[in-house]
Amino acid sequence: MPDKVILTCAVTGAIHTPTMSDHLPITPDEIAEAAIGAAEAGAAILHLHARDPKTGKPDQSAEAFAPFLGRIKQATNAVVNITTGGSPYMTVDERTKPAAQWAPEVASLNMGSMNFGFFPLLAKYKEFKHAWEREHLEGSRDLVFRNSFKDIEYVLETCYDNGTRFEFECYDISHLYNLAHFADRGLVKPPFFVQSVFGLLGGIGTHPEDVMHMKRTADRLFGKDFRWSVLGAGKDQFRIATQALSMGGNIRVGLEDSIWISRGKLAESNAQQVAKARALVEGLGLELATPDEAREMLALKGGDAVNF
Ligand code: KMH
Ligand code: ZN
C-alpha cells in the first residue's frame, strides 16, 4: 500500500495581495485562525508567512511571526513550516531570520534563482486598497528571485544547528539538479521533501507533461530518497494535485498558492481548499497522513523541539 498523503496548507504567502481576496489572512489572528482551521480540516503541515497587520505587506521580521506561532502550536499537532522565501524582493539573510530565531521542524528552501513574474495579475484589478500592491505586482516585471548557491548554503548553515529540515521548493528541472548537488556534498540529508512548484511565471509550466517530467527527473536523481509533493499555482492548483495524487505524490494547497476554490470562485478559507483536497485524496481510496505520520515520513525532530 502506498504511504499516506502528506497535505500541506500554505495559508497566506507573499504573492497575493489584500485586494485580490477578502479571505486572504493578513493579521496574526487571521493567520492563526486560518492555520488552525486548515489543520482541523486535515493539513499535516502548515507553511507560514507573516504580514503587516495594517497593510497586508509581507513582513519577514522574526517578531512578526511571534503572535501566531505559539497559538498554532498550542491548538494543533500540525508541523509548522516557516518560509525562508519571504518576499522575493528581500535578501536571503532577511528572509532567513524567522527560521533562525524560531527553529521550526521545517522551513522552505528555494532551490534556484529565477524570474518571479506576478505582474500579469495587474490586468485583473482596476485599483488597489494599498499603494504597495501595484508596485509589488509591477516591480515583478524586473524581479529576479535570488537563490544563488551561496544563498542556499547560507540558509543551510544558518538552520543546521536548529535541526530544521526543509521543504525544497523546486520551480524547474534545474532546481532538482541543484538539490542533487547539495546532496552530493552531504549538505542535505534524505529523505528530501521535494515541493515541486508548477505554474509560476518564471518557473516550469502546468502541462501534465511538465508534472511527469518533474517526477521522472526526481525519481532518477533521488530514487527512494525523496518524498514528492506538488503545488499548482492559481487555477491549476487542483488539477495538478489530482494528477500528482494519481502518481503517488503528496500535495500542497492554500491561499498562498491560489485564491480560488473553483473557476472564477474565490475560496472562502484555507480550510475550504483543504477539505476539497481531502475529498480528492479519499476519493482515490487514499488516506491523509497525520502530523506524526508526516514527521516519521520526513524524519522531523518533533513538535516540541522548536523555539516557540
Ligand atoms: N510561494 C510559493 C510558490 C517560500 O515561501 O519559500 C513557494 C513558496 C516559497 O512557498
Ligand atoms: Zn511560501
pLDDT (tens digit, 9 = 90+) per residue, 191-235?
A: 999 999 999 999 999 999 999 999 999 999 999 999 999 999 999
Q: Which pLDDT score, from 0 to 100, does residue 194 have?
A: 98
List ligand 1's pocket residues with C-beta within 6 A.
Answer: 10, 13, 15, 47, 83-85, 108, 110, 169, 197, 200, 256-257
Q: Which pLDDT score, from 0 to 100, does residue 3 have?
A: 72
Q: Atom of ligand 1 at shortest distance to CA of 15?
A: 1
- pLDDT, tens only, 91-132: 999 999 999 999 999 999 999 999 999 999 999 999 999 999
DSSP 8-state symbol, 201: B
Q: Which pLDDT score, from 0 to 100, does residue 79 have?
A: 99
CA of 1 to the centre of ligand 2 (A): 31
Per-domain residue ranges for the chain? 4-305
Confidence of residue 2 (pLDDT cuts 50, 70, 90): low
Q: Atom of ligand 1 at shortest distance to CA of 86?
A: 5
- pLDDT, tens only, 184-198: 999 999 999 999 999
Q: Which pLDDT score, from 0 to 100, does residue 191 have?
A: 98
Other CB atoms within 10 A of residue 73 CB: 16
Residue in 152, 169, 171, 198 to alter for ligand 1 test, most ligand atoms within 8 A of Cβ: 169
> In which residue are the cell numbers 495587474 written?
122
- pLDDT, tens only, 28-58: 999 999 999 999 999 999 999 999 999 999 9
Q: Atom of ligand 1 at shortest distance to CA of 14?
A: 1
Q: Distance (Å, rounded) from C-alpha 10 to C-alpha 44?
A: 11
Alpha-helix runs per DSSP H in the chain: 28-41, 62-75, 92-102, 131-138, 149-160, 173-184, 208-222, 237-246, 270-283, 291-298
CA of 221 to the centre of ligand 1 (A): 22
- pLDDT, tens only, 222-271: 999 999 999 999 999 999 999 999 999 999 999 999 999 999 999 999 99
Q: Are 176 and 216 in contact (CB under 8 A)?
A: no
Task: Indicate the pairing of strand 114-115 with strand 144-145.
Answer: antiparallel
Q: Which ligand is nearest to the CA of 171?
A: 1
Average pLDDT for 68-89: 98
What cell does 185 get? 556534498
- pLDDT, tens only, 160-172: 999 999 999 999 9
Beta bridge partners of 201: 203
- pLDDT, tens only, 278-288: 999 999 999 99
Q: Which residues surround ligand 2, an ion (CB under 5 A)?
A: 13, 83, 85
- pLDDT, tens only, 284-302: 999 999 999 999 999 999 9
- Which residue minimizes the CA distance to atom 2 of ligand 1? 257
Q: Is the pLDDT of residue 1 over 70?
A: no
What is the per-residue DSSP string for 34-88?
A: HHHHHHHHT-SEEEE--B-TTT--B---HHHHHHHHHHHHHH--PEEEE-S---T
We find that the CATH architecture of domain 4-305 is Alpha-Beta Barrel (3.20)
